Amino acid sequence: MNILRTSLAISASAAVVLLAGACGGSKTAVCSDATKAFNDYSTQVAAAATNLDGINQATTDLASKLKELAGKADGDLASSLTKMADTFGGFKIDAADPTAAAGKLTEFTTKAGQAAQELASACS
């Protein structure tokens, strides 16, 4: 379970690092809000520890925030935020079968990383 939680936090941290260097121009407010959303998510996942419901809620909250931000953006930025929202929104840990979630983690991490790179590019 610690591997799963750590992987989720690393995915979010990677997005923050990419965004921190990319925010600029008229998109600064939305990109800054996205960075804050990922920072908040990392904190919530760490605080949830082995509480799967807490991790799921933090993931759902992040997806909602990213969708909200997508509504404030346009073009590539809106598209990237929507893609990230869909990626995070589609990941849920089943408390009855956490092993299955761990199996999906590689795919999730790959998608989250790609979406983070697209978002960083859209924010630059």
Task: Give the ranges where the chain is alpha helix by DSSP (H).
Answer: 2-22, 28-48, 52-72, 75-89, 98-123
Whether pLDDT at 83 is above 60:
yes
pTM of the model: 0.75
Residue found under tokens 């929104």 = 89
pLDDT digits (tens, 9 = 90+) for 86-103: 988 988 888 788 778 777
Determine the straight-line distance between the first and last CA of the chain, rounded to whole angstroms: 35
- Asked if 13 contacts 39 with a C-beta cutoff of 8 angstroms, the reply is no
Look at residue 81 in the predicted model and tell me its pLDDT.
93
Query: Residues 35-39: what's their mean pLDDT?
Result: 87
Query: Residues 63-68: what's their mean pLDDT?
Result: 96
Relative orientation angle of helices 2-22 and 98-123, to the nearest 10 degrees: 0
Residues in the chain: 124
